[in-house]
Structure 1
Amino acid sequence: MLRKLALPLLLSTVLCAAAQAQNLSPTEQRITAGVQAWQPQAIELLERSARINSGTLNLAGVRATGDVFRAELDKLGFKTAWIDMPKEMGRAGHLVATRTGKKGKRLLLLGHLDTVFERSAPGPLWQREGDSARGQGVSDMKGGNVIVIAALRALQRAGLLEDTTISILFTGDEEDAGYPREVSRRDMVELAKRSDVALSFEAALGKDGQPMATVGRRATAGFDLDITGRQGHSMSVFGVNGYGAIYEAARILDGFRREVVEPGLTFNPGVILGGTEVAFDEANASGTAAGKTNVIANRVTVRADLRYLDYAQRDRAQARMRAIVEQHLPGTDAKITFRDSYPPMAVTPGNLALLARYSQASVDAGLGMVGMVPPESRGAGDIQFVAPLIDSLDGLGAGGSGAHGPDERVDLKSLESSAIRAALLIYRLTR
């Protein structure tokens, strides 16, 4: 991670440079015009894809959504394929498209076909409301997929895809990545190893009308606390039978809250069960607990979320947490186990340089500067699996609101503006 004081200075430097607008070249003007001319078809493509329910566990729906975008990529001259996942993983697989050349940077473009909305989810699939539309996954992230197609189509119509190396991966399980991750993200990692830059089209965030992109995302991880104590009559608590498992759990968690404090670091105990009988169902994240007020609890189970900016922060936090756990109250014992899930997308000079180029493209097109989303303000995303390998930028997708809820909406005008930014960035990176 960049030093805390150096990051604002570096970010200010690169964005100020991007603010110095240039005129678009005649070629770039043709790219922009191509995006604008196709805006009605972009909205129609979004509607077609949105009308297919593609919740992660609706495997047929994910495949059908993939077919919609595969047909568009075939028209653009990409070599397309569907990558199946092992049946036991319960995931539909991924759509991959590639073309190979010798010009400029080798790009990896990321999207996803699945949504959080399974077949029984409330809310419309598609409902047009003037310059916006309401529907399942319209901004997260079928709108982003459409932006990929719109940008590439403008470049193809201008003859600018020839001799470029661009790989596209639309995953089928971004909202609930399949296990083991070494399998479900293997193809993505392999494509990243053959690329120089990754661009992800997750929904764009805005602040006071300013578009914002993502140069960093915190890792998602977790920890398990398993605590034991001496069962006995409550009259002997604090005495011969010690403090019991529940007091030990309270001590540990409050110690984390008071002593493991860093900017960007969070930990959340989402489930806690305590008593003399505890059963936790890992697969369904549910459980039961039983006990009596006159009996000292002998067991506590805690399952928690842990998020960090980079591995150095993770290692510091884990060391301090282990030290707190080991300071047992009399008559108790405790064990902490850490689980990694999504790796961090650290804020790097390379990522910031990408943001500067993206912002410059936006300024040149008359669309204003692009700001930086604080890393702690974004959840997990596919780009985190490739960011440790290559320079990466996320948030190039559609604007909207209410993601993951029955009122999810997309700003249809953002399809055009985001596609213009993306097309110009891709063009400049591949020269």
Structure 2
Amino acid sequence: MDAWVQRAAEQIAERAERDLEALVAVSSPSGDRHGAEDCVAVVRALAPAAATVERIPCSSPDHADDVVVRLRGDGSGRLLLLGHLDTVVPHERHAPLRRAGEQLTGSGSIDMKGGDVLALGLLRALADGGPDAPGFAEVALLLVVDEEWRTGPMVHVERFAGWDGCLCFEAGELAPDGSDAVIVRRKAAGTLRVRARGVAAHAGAAPDRGRNALLALGVAAQAVAAQHTPTGDDRLTAVPTTLHSGDAFNVVPDAGELICDLRSDRTAAFEEVRAAVPAVVGGVTLDAQLARVWPAMDSRAATAPLLEAASALLGRPLAAAGRGGASDASHMAPAIPFTVDGLGPRGGRAHAPGEFVLEASLRPRAEVALALAQAVLAHAG
């Protein structure tokens, strides 16, 4: 293994659990300004002293500003590190970090504060320098506060377009043969919202005078689920996830909303799913709209030489993998062809109680990130 990668990974791993505890201690659900500001305060404390910290407007309205932690050097090459500080966990269900055997369990630990900690560690390693450390012109860590529920475009793409590489620190994984894997392919992601408008009526005295929005949304959910073809050409998944309708047990519900999660290799498939929802069911009007569309990512060809160089620095193979989940890396990939994701630690139960990071994965995943950073900067030079 490359000497700088080995030494820097050891230093990152030594303090990773403590840094993760500090970041997970802050409850930061998407859209919560106070939580975001408290997270940024922790980031400032963990950033290298040589870095400058800049706040830039978030892509989503009514959110706290995003943060950029920036290092400037006298070498060549510009490298973007990418992560997010927001979680899906509401304040009342937030859990601070605790150790459970080999697991470091806490809200947002794997999605993606564990990755943020490794990105900050990489930034410190580059700032520390040394005779065998890679040189660079600029390295920036962009941490956004709205990744978990952004409905519009990501506004930062143009700011970093043309940089030499982007490393995103969503959760890591292993390849089927047990080697470390990184993500170079992601599906497009869509959110379909179906709103129903019916007619209210007394459920006991005059039920047939009503137009039941709940039943109509059930039909819509079945129509969406019928489009689910994960083994098809588009690898389309169409999953109804939430349904809200009705306010009282004895009233025919006159309104409601259905949310469905869509993933596909082709964004046009989302419009086909939307078109499959009937406009009227049992006298209830259904309005189906795509509330969010995130692009697909396929950087396999552009990153192949990078992964080969990083494998040589690691002294072990590094596998290219794909994933269905959405990520900000998908937004950056068209502007920065050398975009690699999945550089965070390994863990599980993202978006669920008991979310965890595997402590034993912190050092090897730090090695992967360091090797890729060195490969990008060497290629740029």
Matched, 1:198 2:169: no
Describe the superposition over 1:311-345 as per-residue Cα deviations: whole angstroms up to 9, x where unpaired. Answer: xx34345247536736x78x857554322424123
Which of 406, 410, 413 is matched with 2:357 structurally? 410
Letter of the 2:278 counterpart: V
1:386 aligns with 2:332: yes
Preserved CA contact (<8 Å) 1:31 1:158: no
Shift of 1:372: 0.8
1:83 to 2:38 alignment: no
Match among 340, 344, 348 for residue 401 of structure 1: 348
The one-character-per-residue Cα deviations of 1:48-104 (angstroms, maximum 9, x if unpaired) are 3333333445533432332232244342x3321233659971x33222023456855
Q: Aligned pair 1:70/2:23, yes or no?
A: no
Match for residue 187 of structure 2 among 212, 217, 235: 217
Equivalent residue letter for 1:96 = V
TM-score (norm 2): 0.77
The one of 287, 309, 315 equivalent to 2:268 is: 315
Question: Amino acid of the residue matched to residue 144 of structure 2?
Answer: T
Aligned-residue offset at 1:421? 1.2
- In structure 2, how many angstroms separate the alpha carbons of the residues matched to 1:31 and 1:191? 29
Other-structure match for 2:204: none
Residue-pair matches, total:
367
Q: What is aligned with 2:107?
A: 136
Query: Tell me, which stretches of 5 or more residues in structure 1 are unaligned?
Result: 1-23, 232-240, 279-286
Query: Gapped runs of 5+ residues in structure 2?
Result: 202-208
Inter-CA distance 404–291: structure 2 relative to 1 (3 Å threshold): closer
Distance in 1 separating the partners of 2:241 and 2:370: 42
1:305 aligns with 2:260: yes
Pick from 303, 313, 319: which aligns with 1:354?
303
Q: Quote the Cα distance in structure 2 between the aligned partners of 1:406 and 1:245.
A: 32
The letter of the residue matching 1:164 is A
CA contact (8 A) 1:50 1:142 kept: yes
2:52 and 2:70 in contact (8 A); partners too: yes
The residue aligned with 2:3 is 29
Within 2, Cα distance between the matches of 1:384 and 1:53? 26
Report the CA distance between 1:411 and its aligned residue: 1.8
| Corresponding position: 1:337 with 2:288 | yes
Q: Conserved in 1, the CA contact under 8 Å of 2:79 and 2:165? A: yes
SS in 1 for 2:147: coil
Cα gap change, 1:87/1:217 in structure 2, threshold over 3 Å: closer, same or farther?
Answer: closer
* Residue number in structure 2 paired with 1:39: 13
Asked if 1:365 corresponds to 2:314, the answer is yes
Contact 1:116 1:175 survives alignment (8 Å): yes
1:113 aligns with 2:79: no
Counting only pairs closer than 5 Å after superposition, residues 91-170 of structure 1 correspond to structure 2 as: 91-100=63-72, 105-121=77-93, 123=95, 125-129=96-100, 131-156=102-127, 157-158=129-130, 160=133, 162-170=135-143
Q: Distance in 2 between matches of 1:55 and 1:36?
A: 31
Residues 211 and 356 (structure 1), Cα distance of their counterparts in 2 relative to 1, 3 Å cut: farther
C-alpha displacement of 1:197? 2.8
Q: 1:79 to 1:211 in 2, by over 3 A?
A: same
Q: Alpha-carbon deviations, 1:93-131, whole Å to 9, x = none?
A: 2220234568555322111223333432253x1223565
Instruction: Give the Cα separation in 1 of the matches to 2:369 and 2:336.
Output: 18
Task: Check whether the contact 1:359–1:370 (CA below 8 A) recurs between aligned residues.
Answer: no
**Matches of 1:247 and 1:336 in 2, distance apart?**
15
Q: Which amino acid counterpart does residue 107 of structure 2 have in structure 1?
A: Q
Q: Is the 8 A contact 1:74 1:80 kept in 2?
A: no
- What is the RMSD of the two structures over their aligned residues, measured on CA atoms? 4.0
Q: 1:9 matched to which residue of 2?
A: none
Pick aligned residue for 1:173 from 146, 170, 187? 146
Range 412-421 or range 131-140, more displaced? 131-140
In structure 2, distance between residues paired with 1:158 and 1:335? 63
Distance across 2 between alignment mates of 1:85 and 1:321? 29
Change (3 A) 1:415 1:332: same
Aligned-partner Cα distance in 2 for 1:224–1:206? 37
CA distance in 2 between counterparts of 1:260 and 1:30 reads: 47
Which TM-score applies when normalising by structure 1?
0.69
Aligned letter for 2:130?
A: A
1:408–1:352 Cα change, 3 Å? farther
Say if 2:190 and 2:261, in contact at 8 Å, map to a contact too. yes
Aligned AA (1:418): R
- The answer to whether the 8 Å contact 1:131/1:413 transfers is yes
Tell me which amino acid in the other structure corresponds to 1:318.
E
CA contact (8 A) 2:309 2:375 kept: no
Provide the residue aligned with 1:19 in structure 2.
none
- Provide the C-alpha distance between the structure 2 equivalents of 1:254 and 1:146, rounded to a whole number of angstroms: 42
Letter in 1 for 2:70: T
1:274-332 deviation line (CA, Å, top 9, x unaligned): 7xxx6xxxxxxxx668656xxxx9x675523242334xx34345247536736x78x85
